[in-house]
Structure 1
Amino acid sequence: MDNATYSYPSDCTPLTSCKAARKPAGSTVVNMGHSGKAPNDYLVWSLCNTLYVNFCCLGFLALIYSVKARDQKTLGDLRAAQECSDKAKWYNILASGWNLLIPLLVVVLLVLLLVHLGSTEGTFDFFGEDGYQSFMKLFSR
């Protein structure tokens, strides 16, 4: 068969049906990604708070939401990733605040105790010459 003798309609291509496959599909939309910035997941901060083992496991809760935020960001659901990121941030703030508050309270209470014991008369004097001896007399009775 010669190419010159074989004729087919000009609007058809091989392996497709004529005219049915040639209908215009309308418009095509291509998403090139989100124009906004991807939310943070605060994973390192959450790990630090988790390893510190703080009150009510707030660091562990922050770690859970950080991993969820990272998973949602990977899946492309930026709204859910932002919600989990916000929760992780607030749990991290609470955990960090608690991690700083408790040692500061202990130091303040210790200083107040030492100042009170040093200023009272009639009790053993930690800051005087005989502080250790008078302290040990309490246990030698």
Structure 2
Amino acid sequence: MPKEEHEVATLGGPHRSAPETTTVINIHSDTAVPDHVVWSLFNTIFMNICCLGFIAFAFSIKSRDRKMVHDMIGAQSYASTAKCLNISTLVLSIATIIIFIILYATTAIAITRNLY
């Protein structure tokens, strides 16, 4: 008989005198909190009506800072505010652009009618 088998045979099987204990490890998944920095930067550069794009960008940066210190509730709050400001900026900017296009078209039509 080989030496390893002899030792197992001599020692016998595992003895279970104490109850088995288990350890549970809870792994907290990082909840993804969007900070809307890219959207805010786009609105700041291209659609900054009433400085709402810049304010949204500031809240986005605050949200990113909160995420860095693992304050997910604060990050979510700032991100929600940035999202609302971004939506407001986008809607107001698109409405302003449409109004300017309509005014330009009606002015051009009025000028061409007066010329002929």
Alignment of 1:50 with 2:44, yes or no, is: yes
Shift of 1:124: 2.1
Q: Partner of 1:124 in structure 2? A: 115
| Shift in alpha-carbon separation, 1:39–1:103, aligned structure 2, 3 A | same
| Shift in alpha-carbon separation, 1:80–1:55, aligned structure 2, 3 A | same
Overall identity of the aligned pairs, in %: 32
> Gapped runs of 5+ residues in structure 1?
1-28, 126-141
Separation (CA, whole Å) in 1 of partners of 2:106 and 2:47? 27
Question: How many positions carry a matched residue from both structures?
Answer: 94
Q: Partner of 1:12 in structure 2? A: none
Separation (CA, whole Å) in 2 of partners of 1:85 and 1:79? 10
Q: Partner of 1:32 in structure 2? A: 27
Q: Partner of 1:98 in structure 2? A: 92
Shift of 1:118: 4.4
Which structure has greater helix proportion? Answer: 2
Q: Partner of 1:112 in structure 2? A: 106
- After superposition, the CA RMSD in angstroms is 2.3
Larger Rg over CA atoms: 1
Shift of 1:53: 5.5
Shift of 1:30: 6.3
Which amino acid is the alignment partner of residue 124 of structure 1? L
